[in-house]
Structure 1
Amino acid sequence: MVTQDDKERSTRDRLLRLVVETGPVSVVELAQDLDLTTAGVRRHVAALEEEGKIAVHSVPQTVPAGRGRPARRYVATERAHSALSSTYADLAEEALEFLEDALGPDAVAAFARSRMAAMEGHLASLTADVPDLSARVDALAEALSHEGFASSVRPVPGGGAVQLCQGHCPVQGVASRFPALCEAEAQMFSRLLGVHVQRLSTLAAGGHVCTTHIPTGAVRPVVRARSEGRPEAAVEGVR
């Protein structure tokens, strides 16, 4: 049974998504888009402000003020984006579960490779012209950090290798259910760096950080598989 509280939350979620998509936006505009009264929208806006999910957008006055105060316009806060990311992750997991049920696990693996291919193109543009392997690992870590992975490089005692560490994973929850995402990522690192890498731990599998072991001593060229154009022996995450 749908309660009044459920209806209130549903309306509030719709309003928040609209602020995310169209903000800065006014109460009047929200009321028009949601087909609600301005009084009703103001009540939801006040609740979302109290939750710290939206805030008034401040802009410099560029034109002479007219009669009365200018309408307040609202934008989503970082807290709101974090909450919505969790919702989108749930949707992504449901979509992959449907794909697996309909077409089998190979379809999920194919999706993971396709997703990594799109990301690989961007990362390759930032690392391909770096000739030194160690410097290329550093460039990759910096690029991953810009993508939200909180990455760093740590030397391995004794030299000859480094560890690429990722302290955050935007798709951790989904990857916990579908490790093919982590495996495709490890294969992508191998292609970008030109060496075989070994995934030692992942956040998705319960580790406190995703750790990839990268040899930086004698560099051997990566052998490309004829059928799929990727390393034949890239070592993936420990399962």
Structure 2
Amino acid sequence: MLSVMNLSDPADRLLIDHLRRRSAASVSELMDLLGVTATAVRQRLNRLMADGLIGRQLDRPTDGEATGRGRPSYRYSLTERGRSGAGDNYQDLAQAMWQEIRSIPDPAIRAGAVKRVANRLAERYSPSIDGEDLKQRMLEMTRLLGEREVPVELDESSGLPVLTLLACPYPKLAENDRTVCAMEKVLLSEVLGEAVRLSECRLDGGGCCSFTPSRGDRRREPTESLPKVTLSDDLHATDGTAGAVEIVLAEEAVR
């Protein structure tokens, strides 16, 4: 998802920050803000509207104001998408919450918290993943990650499709913490309806993180009806101490 922090144009950031403060603004206000012509402002607004960050409402004159047949007057404001990206401080919040999870002393409780986070993320992704077979679902997952600006490739040369993340979706969290890798494995297993294994990992010196289906394509069934397989991953805390967290994955039955 595009956010203000990802906008490369300083004028875009200035305009959006202004709308955060003012809630809505006219073209003339934005001309003064940016120091450009009305045409330049409208071109910028049209582009940001096409990106889904800004919307507009007809500016109806108040009692006593003159009306005419000229160009309609609009006021521009942030959309829900624009507001969610503006002033994005999610990274700090995510890091703080993740540190709290990692500080839970009981391994079983900690593992349960990690799995619930993965399941919550899976709930957000699953409605967009409805392919009939594993290959189709992995293609849909590739598209979904791409929309979230995560560079990803799908390699089918070995027979089974291999999903490779060319950049970590959680770089700050995953730098020294394998718990994030375990969470990502649970997330992908839940969304794809097939247990996956981490066949290559940056933390092991690999160039990327690759996820491979454990046993080929399976029948998709509700999670609660599937047999449970407990996978134990050696996880390392950020201070370098070793630990083990068991992650319970739902494995689908063979056709």
C-alpha separation between the residues in 1 aligned to 2:169 and 2:187?
A: 17
Deviations 1:156-185 (A, max 9, x none): 3xx421210223334221123432222122
CA-atom RMSD in angstroms: 5.0
Q: Which residue of 1 aligns with 2:137?
A: 136
Structure 1 residues 99 and 26: alpha-carbon distance in aligned structure 2, compared to 1, 3 A threshold: same
Structure 1 residues 138 and 225: alpha-carbon distance in aligned structure 2, compared to 1, 3 A threshold: closer
8 Å contact from structure 1 (residues 197, 236) kept in 2: no
Q: Which residue of 1 aligns with 2:99?
A: 97
Amino acid at match of 1:211: S
Q: Which residue of 2 aligns with 1:196?
A: 195
**SS across alignment from 1:131:** coil
**Aligned equivalent of 2:127, options 106, 125, 128:** 125
Amino acid at match of 1:173: K
C-alpha separation between the residues in 2 aligned to 1:179 and 1:64?
A: 59
8 Å contact from structure 2 (residues 134, 218) kept in 1: no
Pick the structure with more helix per residue.
1
C-alpha separation between the residues in 1 aligned to 2:203 and 2:139?
A: 23
Aligned ranges 1:54-203 → 2 under 5 Å: 58=45, 62-63=59-60, 88-127=90-129, 129-156=130-157, 159-203=158-202
1:99 Cα deviation after fit: 4.0
The answer to whether the aligner puts 1:214 opposite 2:213 as a matched pair is: yes
Structure 1 residues 202 and 126: alpha-carbon distance in aligned structure 2, compared to 1, 3 A threshold: same
Amino acid at match of 2:166: G
**SS across alignment from 1:188:** helix
8 Å contact from structure 2 (residues 138, 154) kept in 1: yes
Segments of 5+ residues of structure 1 without an aligned counterpart are 1-15, 28-44, 47-54
Structure 1 residues 115 and 148: alpha-carbon distance in aligned structure 2, compared to 1, 3 A threshold: farther
Amino acid at match of 1:117: N
8 Å contact from structure 1 (residues 190, 196) kept in 2: yes
Identity level (%): 16
8 Å contact from structure 1 (residues 186, 237) kept in 2: no
Structure 1 stretch 132-141 or stretch 104-113: which is displaced more?
A: 104-113
8 Å contact from structure 2 (residues 161, 212) kept in 1: yes
1:233 Cα deviation after fit: 5.4
C-alpha separation between the residues in 1 aligned to 2:191 and 2:215?
A: 14
Deviations 1:34-87 (A, max 9, x none): xxxxxxxxxxx99xxxxxxxx9984687456979xx9x9897xx9xx69x66x5
Deviations 1:198-224 (A, max 9, x none): 21234566644321123685x356999
Q: TM-score, normalized by length of structure 1?
A: 0.53
1:232 Cα deviation after fit: 0.7
Pick the structure with more strand per residue.
2
**SS across alignment from 2:136:** helix
C-alpha separation between the residues in 1 aligned to 2:206 and 2:177?
A: 16
8 Å contact from structure 2 (residues 193, 221) kept in 1: no
C-alpha separation between the residues in 2 aligned to 1:107 and 1:177?
A: 21
Q: How many residues align?
A: 188
1:149 Cα deviation after fit: 2.6
Segments of 5+ residues of structure 2 without an aligned counterpart are 1-12, 24-32, 35-40, 46-55, 67-72, 237-255
Larger relative contact order (Cα-Cα within 8 Å, sequence gap ≥ 6): 2
